[in-house]
Amino acid sequence: MRLYLNEYPRTFVVADSQFSLIIRHPNPQYSSHEHSHRHAHIHLEGRKAKEARSKNKSGQNKVMVEFVRTEALTLKGFSDITPGRTREKVLTGFLGFLNVKGQIFLGFITRSTKVASPKLGENIHMIDSVDFFCLNSDHYDGWINKEDEVHSSASSEEVESVQTGYPAGSVKRFLSSGNFYFSKNFDVTTTMQERGSPTSSSHAFNSSDSYFSRFMWNSYMGSELLEFRSTLSLQERESFDSAGFLITIMRGYAKSVNLKFSDRENALVTLISKQSCKKKGPLFGEWGCDEAGAVSNFVESEVIIYTESFCLSYVILRGNVPSFWELQSNFSKKSLLSSKKSKKVVFTRSSEASQHAFIRHFNDLGKTYGDIHVVNCLSQDPHTYKGELNKNFKSLLDAAIKSKDECNGDLPDAAVMQQTPTNNYKLSYTDMPISTSYMKKVGYSTINPADVVGPLNNAVIDFGAMFYDLKRYSYIGRQLGVMRVNSFDCLSKANFVSKAICQEVIELALRDMNIKAPHDLYIQHAKLWSENDDVLKHLTLNYQANMTKIQNSKSSAAKHSLKQQLTWKYMNVVGEVKQSDVAMLKLLGRLEDQDGVVLYNPFHQYVSLELKKRSSEFSYSKEIKIFASTFNVNGDVSHDDNLREWIFPSKHDVDKDYDIIFVGFEEIIELTAGNMMNVKSDNFIAWEKEIKKILEESKYTKEKYVSLWSWQMGGIAVLLFIKESHVSNISDIEGSVKKTGLGGMSANKGGIGISLTYAKTSLCFVCSHLAAGFSNIDERHQDYKTIAKGILFSKRKKIKDHEGVIWLGDFNYRIDLQNEHVKNLIKAGSFQKLFEYDQLNRQMASGESFPFFNEMEITFPPTYKFDNNTKVYDTSEKQRIPAWTDRILSMSKGETLKQEVYDCEEDVIFSDHRPVYAIFKASVAMINETAKKEITHDIYESYKKDVGDINVLITSSDISQFVDDKNSDDMPPPSSDAKKWWLEKGAAAKVSIPELENAPPEGENAMVINPRFPINPFVPTDEPEFIRKADLLKLVESKS
């Protein structure tokens, strides 16, 4: 990456070998000696800088950017100002735009050190140095590369002086402090699970997400660039990301260690901790939350173990109590030297306001992580200020849990599919008031304290961890919930507990996978958490260095050090604002005089608009065939020849050349309690091979099918196959699960969802197993709601957000009739009569379960319950009533899905259920990329004729036409009774009635309302609505 500058008209070009980013300001400021002071003395620059700080004019925060192919640019007259290699600087990535008192600076990472590799091909670097370049003024051009010259010949005091005179100098020092991290391979604000398959190499930004943006410390600088990136084509976006035209940065800790995992493979063990920058007000220290529920000292930590065969990831959180509180210190003569007893917690807002913020905090976490278990490490002593805070926390938490329990089930059923799921998570807690002496006694060793992990074992197993099989390219497990460690300052104690929980997760996961871990794994894991504690304490307690000096001071300097200590205490009470804090506020855009920039990209905006107008020339609809089936296999595997008839039923005269095959299994294995990882069972592997064999031997197609997605969660499993020729049309594929069985404590019930995009059409496939039992209708209804709200994909995408949804499974709904009555109706083939008493039919008809879903008419007998290997309904002692427990429903926007077949295969008899299947036609939107490329070229040629080629953006002295904001025009005056703002040219607002307007206003021919015209508009009449005044007089006279 190179950086070029054209002095007049002032233009920056960030160039890569393939693409370049053009950056211009519409009204740059030029000095009187504009071309003669490039190498002027530094002490003159401070005066020129002050002269440049004139009052910010309207539009000063507008910036024009364009992303174009480098080969299309003519850089004649540009100077290469890329930071030199004299101090090993390399232009690594663009951070965005920093607006300081009307001066807009471009920020770049220029030196870094590799510190971590979460997986092969993904590297995390620590920022060592950044450089800033002023976009809209040449007053600071003398600073370009000047620091390198000073560094090579000046003292540290002179370097500090140089940086202090620069408006962006404090931010430069702050970012270069060794606490910020980035990656050019992925978005560092996200977790491994959120990024998708560990085998994927695609770069996707999640920092635009409302949750993950809290970890993007250059969000103020880069938010507009993220929006700009979304307007680029897929190819442009990939180049934009890989070249580093926008880099997201995090603050905290990151490190990987390499160790020998076995004789045959090595392992990378990584710990990443990200500090949040979302909270308004103090980000660190002894404070509570803001109105949005964001708290001080909030940190997300992720442990990743990556080997040649698997990838394990686990996420844990910490943060201050989400309530409105702060710590105050009252000094007296006695407490001046030891202020421990003089501290008190002050609750600054009402309990109602705190409760609202508290719930917002946990709703935010629940939407992202799922269920939440709070590990409460606050002191239980009510006589201390920490105990007082604990009492407040427990009160808010108990109220939140009670509120959730009370409102559970109160949400209108249709709203389950329509509303954002903010309350669909379980919230629980465990008190764990461990002491500092206990922490010191145990330390960061490989021995995990049972006192800590024992009480949390159920939650650890229930939440699981992300485990990906790199050899089979499939997920074994995903993390379904998160632990939130709660302590007073969320430092050492929270770190100690987090390490213990993560070690327990690693031990359980590897045990379930029958993987023997080397002892060195736990040694290195403990060391990483110990370092993590030191780093986060250093970042949070920025006075630590001063305290160390005091402790190590010689007796001759003791009085001076004591004076410094008392000064720090006093200044901390009154709210001292340090220079580093100002730099932090400046980076986050929180100073009073800071505005964000507004980006304009005229070329891309023009092309996008014209492409929309001509979309019919390169887009078209295409029909694909989908086979979907659900089968409760009763824990067995079959190789019966009738399985072919199940997948390719000859009795239906429809096209069976399927493009997509989706099969959901229930009760694929007998469940084993206490397992955290859902290992792929032998049964599932056998079924996957059997179905693939049937597809390969099919006479209906000559194409090969590939397994696109396979997943097992306890007894539920899904298989998704697709024709090999269609794989290139698939994107954004991901899975999600939601447990419901035993209150979510095991995987015996629940749902698995798969989301994908076929070309431009989004599809979702769901398989679920709902609560059993004849009378458990409410439980099944609650299971449906839990799954509908709980299955979430990237960026909070829900089941109902897809254009086509196929939801199948063992729903367990029964028929409300006596056994003999049901069997008699089955013999008579009276399925329609039987369907009237079907529980699911009644639920759907009343708008309760599965609103907005459709089910094709059932023309086959109930599929449950049979004696195994017979066609005889249950003859056991329980005499279960036959029922249509196995169902397939669909939901479609427009005409995306059209169902052709709905049936069961009665000759597959090894199970107590029968497989149920459906065949759909799906209409998907396709894009002819070749035609689109040609049309884009035509649009560009038209643009060149009207405006000029792309080089006009870097050569024109006036680009105001490109950054005119139509939305910033003066707003029209507000509406009144006489005039409405939407009427053109201020026309008067009045109702137009032709009969009245065409008649004279006065005289006997004037029109008036006919008193005989009915008031009720639905009553038929021959009377006119209006009559002449003369006719009204005659009417009155006749009545008199």
User: Is residue 56 scored above 60 in pLDDT?
Assistant: no
The residue with greater pLDDT, 397 or 1030, is: 397
Q: How confident is the model at residue 19 (pLDDT cuts 50, 70, 90)?
A: very high
pLDDT at 955: 80
Rg (CA), the chain: 34
Q: How confident is the model at residue 971 (pLDDT cuts 50, 70, 90)?
A: low
| CATH 3.60.10.10 domain locations along the chain | 619-863+876-927
User: Is residue 962 scored above 90 in pLDDT?
Assistant: no
Write down the H helix ranges in 488-557: 492-512, 519-540, 544-552
Average pLDDT of 521-545?
87
SS3 26: coil
Ranked by mean pLDDT, which of 338-342, 433-437, 493-497, 944-948 comes out on top?
A: 493-497
User: Is residue 856 scored above 50 in pLDDT?
Assistant: yes
pLDDT at 657: 95
Structural contact between residues 486 and 365, judged by C-beta atoms closer than 8 angstroms: no
User: Is residue 447 scored above 60 in pLDDT?
Assistant: yes
- How far is Cα 940 from Cα 963, in angstroms, rounded to an integer? 19
pLDDT at 292: 92
Report the CATH architecture of 619-863+876-927: 4-Layer Sandwich (3.60)
At position 131, the amino acid (one-letter code) is: D
SS3 98: strand
Q: What is the mean pLDDT of the chain?
A: 84
Structural contact between residues 908 and 642, judged by C-beta atoms closer than 8 angstroms: yes
Q: How confident is the model at residue 523 (pLDDT cuts 50, 70, 90)?
A: very high
pLDDT at 556: 40
Query: What's phi and psi for 353, nearest 5 deg?
Result: -65, -40
Write down the H helix ranges in 370-421: 385-407, 413-418
Strands of 714-857 (E only): list them. Answer: 716-723, 730-739, 750-758, 761-769, 792-793, 797-798, 804-810
- How far is Cα 739 from Cα 753, in angstroms, rounded to an integer? 12
SS3 932: helix
- How far is Cα 846 from Cα 781, in angstroms, rounded to an integer? 12
Q: 344's torsion region: left (phi>0), alpha (psi -120 to 50) or beta?
A: beta
Average pLDDT of 19-26?
94
- How far is Cα 335 from Cα 367, in angstroms, rounded to an integer? 45
User: Is residue 374 scored above 60 in pLDDT?
Assistant: yes
Average pLDDT of 523-533?
97
Query: What whole-number percentage of the chain has pLDDT above 90?
Result: 58
pLDDT at 5: 95
From residue 132, give the alpha-carbon distance in Å to each of 100, 141, 939. Answer: 12, 11, 36
User: Is residue 113 scored above 90 in pLDDT?
Assistant: yes
pLDDT at 52: 42
pLDDT at 223: 92
CA atoms within 13 A on the CB side of 557: 9
User: Is residue 568 scored above 50 in pLDDT?
Assistant: no
Tens-digit pLDDT profile for residues 119-153:
998 999 999 999 999 999 998 887 766 655 554 44
Exposure b/e, 36-70, CB count within 10 A at least 16 = b: ebeeeebeebeebbeebeeeeeeebbbbbbbbbee
From residue 630, give the alpha-carbon distance in Å to each of 666, 718, 739, 768, 777. Answer: 8, 9, 18, 9, 21
End-to-end CA distance of the chain: 98
DSSP 1019: S
pLDDT at 396: 95
Average pLDDT of 241-256?
96
- How far is Cα 598 from Cα 965, in angstroms, rounded to an integer? 10
